[in-house]
Amino acid sequence: MDQMPWRDRIREADELLARLNRLASRIADRRAQALLEGVRDLGTVADVARDRGVSWNAVDKAIKKYERKNAADTGGTTTE
């Protein structure tokens, strides 16, 4: 069986990783939006965390990362 040249395999792998990273980023945004909706619905980050069975820190970090990304994307300022 003929194998693709190594340069082509690397290029193909790089393209796949780039697509996967873009997809993961979009999914993380969707999750953060849902977490924010949960905070609006339940009242606090801690309440959402309890409901989902995760630490409040995980919920808080996901939301903050999303908000920083959106501030940077819309030309807002960030503290980083």
User: How large is the average pLDDT for residues 16-33?
Assistant: 98
The answer to whether position 78 is within a domain reads no
The answer to whether position 48 is within a domain reads yes
The answer to whether position 43 is within a domain reads yes
Segments forming the whole domain that contains residue 67:
6-73
Query: Would you say the pTM of this structure is higher than 0.85?
Result: no
The answer to whether position 80 is within a domain reads no
The answer to whether position 16 is within a domain reads yes
Percentage of the chain lying above the pLDDT 90 cut: 86
Domain total in the chain: 1
How far apart CA 72 and CA 77 sit, in angstroms, is 6
The answer to whether position 1 is within a domain reads no
The answer to whether position 26 is within a domain reads yes
- 7-38 burial string, b = 16+ CB within 10 Å, else e? eeeeeeeeeeeeeeeeeeeeeeeeebeebbeb
Confidence of residue 59 (pLDDT cuts 50, 70, 90): very high
Confidence of residue 77 (pLDDT cuts 50, 70, 90): low
Task: Encode pLDDT of 41-52 as tens digits.
Answer: 999 999 999 999
